[in-house]
Amino acid sequence: MDPLVRFTDAHSKGLIPDDVYDLTLKRFPITVAGIDRIEKASGIQYPVAYVEPSLVVSSSDPNSYEYGILFARTIPVMFEEKFQVVIQISAPLIAYGLKGTVHAILAHEFLHFLELLRKISKMELLSDEISGNLFENVYSDETRLFEPRVVFKDRTLLNHITKKFPSGFRDYKLEDKVIKFWSDRNLPKSNISLDANNVKLSAESLSKIKLDPKFLTKINELEEKSSKIRKKRLY
């Protein structure tokens, strides 16, 4: 899959101006380097990723001014009865995010990917909780991810994650840039509800998913080590 196919198509249709298109392409190697870095630091292949040609925002209430910018999303899909996890990376992140920020967000989504496959392997995806509040959603997000220091053997990458995700991602400088150079120019925007960012698969669908035994062994090891670290924090 060409990760830039949707972005290039949007540009050809006149939805993305030339300056934004050129800037995003120029900075795309930062994303590629981040994925390579995560694979090297974890020993696990990164899932399929693509560039979304829009600013993705989410709100707990369509009539509310409270909203969050989703710079990347982990999306599970069933295509022709085959299961696939896809990482959606927003073009505004690539165009305006600093290298450390881009890599931290890519790593964070990678943790979501691992958590998703852990749940699938244990048949825990039938009724995933849905939060209608952005703050509650952030809290839930932080309490169910693998420990980054267990997954990544890269001190600089870990520092980026720790700084960017102390309690949910927030980068005011990046958000200001995105609002000024993307939103205020009326470039493409996608609005999604918080419950649309959750996944529910039927038992039948789950039963058809086949995961590599070696990968499952790795997941179990990471889960066990993460659990030990969290127990030490409590006691």
Give dist(CA 168, CA 176) in Å, integer: 18
Q: Is residue 176 part of a domain?
A: yes
- How many independent structural domains does the chain possess? 1
Binned average pLDDT, 10 residues per bin, the chain of 235 residues:
94 98 98 97 95 88 64 82 87 96 94 88 58 46 75 92 70 92 95 65 71 89 87 63
Give me 14's structure tokens. Answer: 């006149």
Determine the distance from the C-alpha atom of residue 184 to the mean position of all C-alpha atoms in its chain, rounded to a whole number: 24
Q: Is residue 235 part of a domain?
A: no
Provide the residue range defining the domain that includes 49: 5-228
pLDDT of the residue at 163: 78
List beta partners, residue 50: 88
Contact criterion met (CB below 8 Å) for 216 and 135: no
Q: Is residue 233 part of a domain?
A: no
Residue type present at position 128: D
Q: Is residue 207 part of a domain?
A: yes
pTM for this one? 0.86
pLDDT of the residue at 231: 73
pLDDT of the residue at 230: 73
Q: Is residue 122 part of a domain?
A: yes
Instruction: Kindly give, in sequence order, each residue whose CB lies less than 8 Å from that of residue 57, ignoring residues fewer than 6 positions away.
Output: 67, 68, 69, 70, 189, 190, 191, 192
Q: Is residue 152 part of a domain?
A: yes
Q: Is residue 66 part of a domain?
A: yes
Q: Is residue 234 part of a domain?
A: no
